[in-house]
A and B are shown apart, each in its own frame.
Chain A
C-alpha cells in the first residue's frame, strides 16, 4: 500500500511560536511546472503589529547578552543549517533553482552566519573610540543597537539575502521583524525553524510571509520600529523612505547581489548601531594635560 506523504504547513514565526496569520489568509506557492508546493500565510497588518510587540519585548534580553554569547548563538544557527542543508537545497530546487545554484546559495548562507558570528565580540572594538578633546575629560564613544529593525528581504534569493541582512542586525544586538521573499517563501520558514532550535530567544527574530504592497505602509509608519532595511527593488521605495520620517526611522536600501563578496562586511552591522559619547571628567593624566 502506498504511503500518503505528510506535508508541512508553512506558518509564520512570531515571538518564538509558529502561529498561522491572524487573518487566516494564504496564497499558493507554485513550482516551476505550475505544481502546488504549499499554501503560504498571507500576513496582515496585525501580524506585523504582533511581531513588533514580540521583538520589542525580546530586545532588552538580547541586547544585554554578552557579545561573546551572541556570537555563540549565531554560530549555533550555522551548525543547525549545516545539518539541514539537504532540506534547504531541496526546497530551493522545488521553487525553481538549479541544483548548482541552490547548493551555492545554501553554503554561502551558512558561511555568512559564521562570518557574522565571528564579528559579535569584535565590532565594538572597531567602531568605538576614545576621542581627543581639549579639556580634562576622558571622552569615549560606544556603539549601541538601534532597536527593533524591520527587514524587507530580497525577493530573488530564498535564503541568502535574508541571512545576509538578518545576521549582522542580530550580531549588533537588535531584534528583527522580517518580511520574507514572497515568491520563495518556503526557505524562510524553514530558516525560522532552524533559528527556533538554535538558542535564539523567542521574539528576537520574527519572520512573516506576505505581500509587500499590502504591508509596506504598516512597516514604514510603525512608531515602534527603529530602522528599516529594504532589499528589494520596488515602486514603493520612495514612499517607504518618506514614511520612515514619521519617527525618524533609520532607512537603508540595499540593492545588491548578495552572492557577491562585497555583500558582507562590518558596515552591515554598524548601519544598525547608535553612537553614544560620554564625557567623563578626569584629572590630568601623565602630564598629558587637557589634550588627552
Chain B
C-alpha cells in the first residue's frame, strides 16, 4: 500500500483488492508444512494458551458458564504443565458470574455486545449493551459491525459506530467482528478490516460463529495482511482472532504457521492472537495426550462442552 495519511477517505479509495486465487494457493501451502513432533508439542500448548473458550447460546445457563470457567483453568488435571486458556467468551448477562468464577486466575473475560450476533439494533442499545458488560467487569468486548450498512456502502456509519463503541469500552480491549461469512468477497473483508483498524479496533475477528462459513484460512490471511500493512505504516500492532469452525489441532497449527509467516513471531502469543472455539480445546488435549502416552485417545475421557 502506498504511504498516505490513514483516514477513512483514503482507505475507502485505496484499500487493495485481493487476488482470491493467489490467496487460496498461498493458504494451501501453509497446510503442506511438515511439523516435527517437538514443534508440534510446543505448538499445541501455544494453541491452548490462545483459546477463547466460548459459549454463546440462547440456552446458556449459569451452570454451563460455571462449568466452562472451571474448565478454563483446569483443562486437564491429569496432565501437568498445561497453560490456561486466554479467556472465556460469554454473553453480557453472564459476565459478572464468569468474572467471579475466574478470580485469582489470569484468564480474561470477554463479552460479546452490540446486539450480537446480528447487530441489528439502534446505537443507543448497542452502547448500553457494551457499558453493561464493561461495568460488570468484562476485560474484552467482542462487537459486531453493521453488515447491512457496510454492504450498502455506508462506510462512514460503520466506522463511526466502531469508534463510538471503542470509546464506551474504556480500558477493555475491543475486538471487532466482521462476520466475513456475510461480506461475500475478500475485497470486502480487506476493506472492513481496514475500516475497523482505523476506527480503533484492538483486535479484528472473523465471525460470530452463527453464520457459515465462519473462519477460513483465506479470510484470516486477508485480515492478517491488513494487520501487517497497518503495522508497516504505523508501527501499531493489532490482534487477530479467527472464530468458528476451527475444531481440530492440525488446522489450528496451520493457522499458527500462517500467523508466523504473514505477520511474524511478535503475534504468536495470546495478546495478539486468539482462537474463538468451543470444541478445539478437547481436540488439542487429546493430541497432547497422544504425544505423551503414544496412544490415541477418545472423546469419552474428556469433558463434554
Contacts and interface: CB of A to CB of B under 8 A. Distances in A.
Contacts of A52: 296
A247 interface: yes
Interface string A136-147: 000000000000
Interface stretch (B7-15, B87-95, B297-305): B297-305
A246 B297 CA distance: 11
B295 interface: yes
A80 to B, nearest CB: 32
A3 to B, nearest CB: 38
Contact of B301 (A56, A218, A222, A223): A223
A221 interface: yes
A49 interface: yes
Interface residues on A, range: 10 to 19
Interface string B274-305: 00000000000000000000111111110000
Contacts of B299: 56, 224
Contacts of A48: 296
Contacts of A224: 296-300
A247 B298 contact: yes
Please indicate which of the listed interface residues B296, B297, B298, B299 has the most CB atoms of chain A within 10 Å of its own CB: B296
B298 A221 contact: no
Nearest to B248: A53
Nearest to A247: B298
Contacts of B298: 56, 222-224, 247
Interface string B257-269: 0000000000000
Contacts of B294: 221
A205 B299 CA distance: 20
A144 to B, nearest CB: 15
A224 B300 CA distance: 8
Nearest to A46: B296
Contact of B300 (A218, A221, A223, A246): A223
A260 B289 CA distance: 44
Contacts of B300: 223-224
A124 B146 CA distance: 57
Nearest to B296: A222
A52 B286 CA distance: 14
Given A56-B299, A224-B298, A224-B300, 19 more contacts: A48-B296, A49-B296, A56-B298, A218-B296, A221-B294, A221-B295, A221-B296, A222-B295, A222-B298, A223-B295, A223-B297, A223-B298, A223-B300, A223-B301, A224-B296, A224-B297, A224-B299, A246-B295, A247-B298
23 contacts: A48-B296, A49-B296, A52-B296, A56-B299, A218-B296, A221-B294, A221-B295, A221-B296, A222-B295, A222-B296, A222-B298, A223-B295, A223-B296, A223-B297, A223-B298, A223-B300, A223-B301, A224-B296, A224-B298, A224-B299, A224-B300, A246-B295, A247-B298
Q: A-B pairs with the 7 shortest C-beta distances? A: A224-B298, A223-B298, A221-B295, A222-B296, A223-B297, A49-B296, A223-B296
